[in-house]
């Protein structure tokens, strides 16, 4: 994230944007910058920024905390008053700018009798973390840092959800977790594991671990947000006359009604058959028609095709 650029700017929405506006703008950015469709070196970073911004702003509670505390919202303990936090931050920056002088506290912050102490402002919530009066010898309890790692899922896992064992390596230490994957998780979404991030000191809470979801490419399925696309292979007579075809999907077998006169590339929409959405409307499934001809013809098949060629005046090159 560039300096001064916040999540609203990344998505290109005003701070009072509705949830629908936020979702719509995110989907536009995802279509533009997803690494599968945009191979520009900076596209992946832009996609990650948009995904993180959407993950925060699409959740009303997380958005409320972000609006109150900005980029530091994950490090601010529950119960801190936003105005108190802003005053504390402003005071800390002012003291840091003054430099380390006589009587300077930890980190170069100078505490004179007229200063407003962060520990005073926050009612002791941080203990002696900021070097409050009477406890300037150490930093005191410090909450653990939030951490992030990627998790790769198949389309089927993203559709169904379920339990998944994940092993991560950090600083030579291996840790294993049993993770609950929510049904309908999308590429770029983050799964929060509370308390599984960096360790807090002196009894302070641990940070959280965020698993960034990456959905692997699939030989049959393609995802665009929650919409699912799958190829529907048809024989020429099926496409010309119309038919009903059984189609395998991550949610099980479905019947697709193919209208007569279907050409390759036509999309047949099955509403609500895409990825589920625990917070709203599910995605759609699009069966994309592809007409396939036999690679080798029997004598009878050849005779029938030759008869069709003689009888028909259809010219595909003159069709719009």
81 pLDDT band, cuts 50/70/90, is: confident
Cα–Cα distances (Å) from 30 to 27, 221, 267, in that order, read 5, 18, 21
pLDDT of residue 69 exceeding 90, the answer is: no
11 pLDDT band, cuts 50/70/90, is: very high
The mean pLDDT of the chain is: 80
170 pLDDT band, cuts 50/70/90, is: low
Higher pLDDT, 129 or 192: 192
Least confident range of 77-86, 99-108, 197-206, 223-232: 99-108
The full set of domains in the chain, from first to last, is: 143-216 (2.60.260.20), 221-312 (2.60.260.20)
Higher pLDDT, 297 or 101: 297
Helix (H, G, I), strand (E, B) or coil at 213: strand
CA dihedral (46, 52, 57, 63) in degrees, to 10, reads -130
pLDDT of residue 166 exceeding 60, the answer is: yes
What does the alpha-carbon distance between residue 86 and residue 89 come to, in Å, rounded to a whole number? 5
Higher pLDDT, 33 or 173: 33
Please report the pLDDT score of residue 203 as a whole number. 77
């Amino acid at each position: 994230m560039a300096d001064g650029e916040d999540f609203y700017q990344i998505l290109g929405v005003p701070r009072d944007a509705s949830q629908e506006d936020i979702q719509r703008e995110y989907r536009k950015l995802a279509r533009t910058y997803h690494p599968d469709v945009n191979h520009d070196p900076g596209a992946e970073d832009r996609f990650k920024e948009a995904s993180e911004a959407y993950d925060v702003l699409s959740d009303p509670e997380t958005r409320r905390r972000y609006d109150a505390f900005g980029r530091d919202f994950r490090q601010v303990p529950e119960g801190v008053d936003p105005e108190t936090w802003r005053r504390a931050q402003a005071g800390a920056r002012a003291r840091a700018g003054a430099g380390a002088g006589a009587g300077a506290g930890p980190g170069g912050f100078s505490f004179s009798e007229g200063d407003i102490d962060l520990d005073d402002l926050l009612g002791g919530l941080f203990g002696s973390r900021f070097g409050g009066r009477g406890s300037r010898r150490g930093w005191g309890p410090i909450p653990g840092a939030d951490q992030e790692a990627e998790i790769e899922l198949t389309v089927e896992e993203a559709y169904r959800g379920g339990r998944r064992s994940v092993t991560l390596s950090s600083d030579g230490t291996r840790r294993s977790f049993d993770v609950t994957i929510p049904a309908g998780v999308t590429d770029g979404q983050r799964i929060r594991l509370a308390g599984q991030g960096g360790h807090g000191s002196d009894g302070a809470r641990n940070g959280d671990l965020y698993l960034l979801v990456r959905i692997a490419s699939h030989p049959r399925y393609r995802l665009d947000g929650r919409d699912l696309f799958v190829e529907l292979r048809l024989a020429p007579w099926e496409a010309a006359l119309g038919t009903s075809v059984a189609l395998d999907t991550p949610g099980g077998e479905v019947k697709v009604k193919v209208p007569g006169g279907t050409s390759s590339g036509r999309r047949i929409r099955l509403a609500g058959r895409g990825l589920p959405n625990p917070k709203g409307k599910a995605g759609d499934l699009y069966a994309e028609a592809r007409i396939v001809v036999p690679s080798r013809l029997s004598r009878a098949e050849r005779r029938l095709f030759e008869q069709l060629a003689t009888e028909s005046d259809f010219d595909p090159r003159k069709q719009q």
